[in-house]
Structure 1
Amino acid sequence: MRVVAAHLPQRPKGRLVVIGAGKASARMAEAVEAHYGPCEGLVITRYGYARECQGIQIAEAAHPVPDEAGVAATRRLLDLVAGLGPDDLVLALISGGGSALLCAPAQGLTLDDKMAVNRALLASGAPIGQMNVVRKHLSAVKGGRLAAACHPARLLTLLISDVPGDDPGQIASGPTVGETSSPADVQAILRKYGIDLSPQVRSVLGRPSTVVSPDDARLETAETRIIAAPSQSLAVARDAAETAGCEVRTLGDALEGEARDLGAEQARLALSLTDHVQATGKPLLLLSGGECTVTRRGDGVGGPNAEFTLAAALELNGHPDIHVLACDTDGVDGAAEVAGAYAGPRTLITAREQGIDPTAALARNDAHSFFAAIDDQIVTGPTLTNVNDFRAILILPSRG
């Protein structure tokens, strides 16, 4: 509430229209109305993430793969900003998840065309930045097009970042931010990850792009502000841990790569620091954020945070003094209604006592099933925010 309120301007002389998309957008809309009172507008959020607002309409749609509800809500949103004038103000509330929720297929494409490409990208292991480049060029609303639709009204976009590096053009695929990539860039990404294209998608990518250039005159009255970011969540965790008597090392808030590789790497780092912890007698907490990816190798149920945790557990091999937690701050790891997972000294023991092979589970991308079976999933429900992944590894002094 306080974060949003600090960035709200005075009401305009004309209309104030509130729009938005993302897993945090309904909560942001609630904060806007707590400041202004009832407002005109529409935001699109994930199923189960709605909030009760006074005037702003809340639409729910699917994530991470879009659905018809998202398409219909996006049409309504675009109708809402049509015909505005220079005395009007559009307040756009954008957070992670907006790429799927704000969905308007480019001319010549159907929702099925977009869903097929989206599913292939999610399974490919492509980093989020490259996925978003593709999404922009297959959309009629991303890549600055929403900002163009609001012109000539003034536009203020408030962003909650869920992307490594906090690039405004990557958050929800930059619907209100200018874009410099080309259809050729998209084709190169799709070739790199071996994604087959339908004739319709090939046709769209074969014509001149309609993404909005950063120097487009329609963006002259648009302003963008990042109001919350992954680094802030890590800073709060650092403060809490230090208050509790821990030494803290932050490994970075924008780490990317294969989840299993990063999990193993950070576990090895933790193992290398056990002598240091024993010498100081003080717990050491390793913190990191960012957005890992999972390349689908099997048919299991997994997500990047659960896969990170399982890979770390295997590398640690039951070390008695090291504990691992990895969660997505929006409460959804991958496509599962699970935030993430915990692993500790007994994780592998418990699994093997139940006849569960952790190595096989990792090989088939089945980390969520693995942690569900041993009751080590972390389930928060909708958190109504989204500042990327949160990972913590705690190394305790040996009690032996």
Structure 2
Amino acid sequence: MSDDYRTLLRAMFDAAVGAAHPSVCLPAFLEKIAPPKGRTIVVGAGKAAASMAAAVEAHWPHPIEGLVVTRYEHGAPTSKIEVIEASHPVPDAAGRAAAGRILQKVQGLTEDDLVLALISGGGSALMALPADGVSLEEKQAVNKALLKSGATISEMNCVRKHLSAIKGGRLARAAAPAKVVALMISDVPNDDLSVIASGPTVPDPTTRQDALAVIAKYKIDAPAAVLAYLSTDACETPKPGDKIFDRVENILVATPQGSLDAAAAVASKAGFTPLILGDLEGESRDVALVHAGIARQIARHAQPIAPPVAIISGGETTVTVRGNGKGGRDAEFLLALTLALEGFGGISAIACDTDGIDGSEDNAGAIMTADSFARAAAQGVDLKALFANNDAYTAFEKLGDLLVTGPTRTNVNDFRVILVPGRAS
């Protein structure tokens, strides 16, 4: 039965990813966009940017030109839209150069022109154009510290926007008076448009004081130039109500909820009742404890619903790094779940990042089977010690349970399923 559950878990993950792939979700929205009298300039950033560009080329029958930036190894073949690859999650010089070229491409346009912006998760780090007075190295330092701090994606992007020359609505400001249509794949809780890739075409409701508060909250040792810049009004972003957004339309083409629904359909077909918890935030290990509690309650007491049940959730958890091991937030979640369910048999689970890369490793995530803890003990794998060292990657590598998919070229963030079978199973 373990192999059957592995197959089901993988099928649910594949369904979630497939529902958010640009080749599937983009065409219907492109059909609704009226072609301009003038030029169509395509720009974009994110882990899905290259596959979005390929979908535009396949389904937009009018002249186009442009440039998008995506993560290394996330490219896709295009002929009219240039694709540049850069570093994620820490920005590099390639991303800075790409962002500068994107900003140049949308400047000097007219009301007859259209800017088609392809925005997806990861775009904030990939489209890195530091504001005047802030160096790339200083922005990298802040970014690295935030990634290790446990800050939420909203908090990190608040800081990133205020240190950028292109994010936080500044891309839209540069494109005016052209019409701007942003097609967006959401990777953030509640589908907050201003947070997806730090909202380059979206009004920013946060302030520089908010950015400084995040730095203070997580005790980030920010360079002096960063703190000096955040102390000036020059770093402030365009706000809601600004007229530059009068000709801007931001459209969600794929969401985490859509992917959770696609996975739920697979679970239902397999005889599991889906229990969708939605988009969740928090420390990976804490979120795992909550999931474990729900799974035990279902198994023991058939509450809130009777098994067999597939507990499904998404969102973006965080990891406050204290050790020096390997592993992203999904492997960390799954190892915490394995430890929380020690001795509680019958339950299997998967935790993966829908972009195919869990943090900065080569795996999408991992799978936990009902006998994972017992197999680890038999092999002499100390799961608790590895967990204490933030070394979930090594734990599942030793068990042979890493899930390696390669880049999926989309991104609707974390994907988690826990299968709680009926007693007869």
Same fold by TM (over 0.5)? yes
**Match for residue 40 of structure 1 among 60, 65, 73:** 65
Deviation at 1:39, TM superposition (A): 2.3
2:401 aligns to what?
Answer: 376
2:14 aligns to what?
Answer: none
**Match for residue 220 of structure 2 among 163, 175, 195:** 195
Moved more, 171-180 or 3-12: 3-12
C-alpha contact (below 8 Å) 2:356/2:406 kept by paired residues:
yes
1:88 aligns to what?
Answer: 113
C-alpha contact (below 8 Å) 2:203/2:238 kept by paired residues:
yes
Work out the CA distance in 2 between the residues paired with 1:44 and 1:318.
Answer: 47
**Match for residue 36 of structure 2 among 12, 16, 30:** 12
Matched, 1:26 2:46: no
Pairs within 5 Å for 1:95-244: 95-208=120-233, 209-244=235-270
Work out the CA distance in 1 between the residues paired with 2:205 and 2:315.
Answer: 24
C-alpha contact (below 8 Å) 1:277/1:397 kept by paired residues:
no
Deviation at 1:281, TM superposition (A): 8.2
**Match for residue 291 of structure 1 among 277, 298, 316:** 316
Gaps of 5+ in 2: 1-22
Amino acid at match of 1:290: G
Moved more, 241-250 or 223-232: 241-250
Deviation at 1:51, TM superposition (A): 0.7
Moved more, 373-382 or 347-356: 347-356
Deviations 1:3-35 (A, max 9, x none): 212112132110000000000111111111111
Calculate the aligned-residue CA RMSD, in Å. 1.6
Work out the CA distance in 2 between the residues paired with 1:197 and 1:246.
Answer: 49
2:10 aligns to what?
Answer: none
Pairs within 5 Å for 1:281-360: 282-360=307-385
Work out the CA distance in 2 between the residues paired with 1:349 and 1:242.
Answer: 29
Look up the SS of the partner of 2:161 in the other structure: helix
Deviations 1:206-228 (A, max 9, x none): 11033111222211111101111
1:68 aligns to what?
Answer: 93
Deviations 1:97-121 (A, max 9, x none): 0010111001111111011000000
Deviation at 1:386, TM superposition (A): 0.5
Rate the CA distance shift 1:281–1:185 in 2: closer, same or farther, 3 A: closer
List structure 1 segments (4+ residues) > 4 angstroms apart after TM superposition: none
Amino acid at match of 1:242: S
Deviations 1:187-210 (A, max 9, x none): 111111010121111111111033
Amino acid at match of 1:17: I
Work out the CA distance in 2 between the residues paired with 1:349 and 1:21.
Answer: 44
Look up the SS of the partner of 1:361 in the other structure: helix
Q: Percent identity at matched positions?
A: 49
Work out the CA distance in 1 between the residues paired with 2:246 and 2:237.
Answer: 16
Amino acid at match of 1:212: P
Deviation at 1:282, TM superposition (A): 5.0
Deviation at 1:277, TM superposition (A): 5.5
Amino acid at match of 1:23: K
Work out the CA distance in 2 between the residues paired with 1:2 and 1:86.
Answer: 31
C-alpha contact (below 8 Å) 1:299/1:365 kept by paired residues:
yes
Matched, 1:247 2:273: yes
Look up the SS of the partner of 1:6 in the other structure: helix
Amino acid at match of 1:15: R
Look up the SS of the partner of 2:323 in the other structure: coil
C-alpha contact (below 8 Å) 2:91/2:125 kept by paired residues:
yes
Work out the CA distance in 2 between the residues paired with 1:88 and 1:53.
Answer: 22
Work out the CA distance in 2 between the residues paired with 1:266 and 1:179.
Answer: 33
Gaps of 5+ in 1: none
Work out the CA distance in 2 between the residues paired with 1:299 and 1:282.
Answer: 39
Deviations 1:365-400 (A, max 9, x none): 111111111111111101111011110000112358
C-alpha contact (below 8 Å) 1:245/1:282 kept by paired residues:
no
C-alpha contact (below 8 Å) 1:300/1:366 kept by paired residues:
yes
Work out the CA distance in 2 between the residues paired with 1:161 and 1:79.
Answer: 26
Work out the CA distance in 2 between the residues paired with 1:61 and 1:298.
Answer: 27
Rate the CA distance shift 1:3–1:281 in 2: closer, same or farther, 3 A: closer
Deviations 1:118-151 (A, max 9, x none): 0000000011111110100111111100110111
Work out the CA distance in 1 between the residues paired with 2:182 and 2:94.
Answer: 23
Give the total of aligned pairs.
Answer: 399
2:15 aligns to what?
Answer: none
C-alpha contact (below 8 Å) 1:255/1:291 kept by paired residues:
yes
Look up the SS of the partner of 2:90 in the other structure: coil
Rate the CA distance shift 1:367–1:2 in 2: closer, same or farther, 3 A: closer
Amino acid at match of 2:283: E
1:265 aligns to what?
Answer: 290
The one of the two structures with greater contact order (alpha-carbon pairs below 8 A, sep at least 6) is 2
